């Protein structure tokens, strides 16, 4: 899968919290994220309310592992573009 890891950091850093999973998916689509990445977020993020960027990043860690396995390699969330560390 081809994707820009910075997209996820930009998405998380642009969100106003609290936010529900459905809103995260909607914002990802509005920002033109790759359909495969949006679908992976939709399938793997728990259906809950996220209170902070750190909480959302923590829940996205499973998605990141799957992306690495598909050849989309990236470090931890926060490694790209000066994002927040978890």
Q: Does the pTM of the predicted model rise above 0.85?
A: no
Per-residue b/e over 7-39, b at no fewer than 16 CB within 10 Å? bbbbbbeebeeebebeebbebbeeeebeeebbe
Predicted confidence at residue 43, as pLDDT, reads 92
**Do β-strands 19-20 and 49-50 pair in parallel, antiparallel, or remain unpaired?**
antiparallel
Length of the chain measured in residues = 86
Q: What are the extents of the domains in the chain?
A: 7-69
pLDDT value of position 6:
78
Residue ranges in the chain whose pLDDT is less than 50:
73-86
- Give the pLDDT confidence score for residue 55 in this predicted structure: 93
Per-residue pLDDT tens over the stretch 58-76: 888 767 767 666 655 444 4
């Amino acid at each position: 899968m081809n994707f820009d890891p910075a997209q996820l950091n930009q998405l998380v850093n642009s969100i106003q919290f609290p936010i529900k999973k459905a809103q995260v998916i909607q914002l990802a689509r509005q920002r033109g994220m790759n359909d495969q990445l949006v679908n992976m977020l939709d399938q793997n993020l728990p259906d809950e309310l996220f209170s902070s960027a750190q909480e959302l990043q923590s829940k996205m860690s499973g998605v990141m592992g799957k992306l690495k396995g598909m050849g989309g390699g990236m470090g931890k969330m926060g490694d790209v573009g000066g994002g927040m560390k978890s």
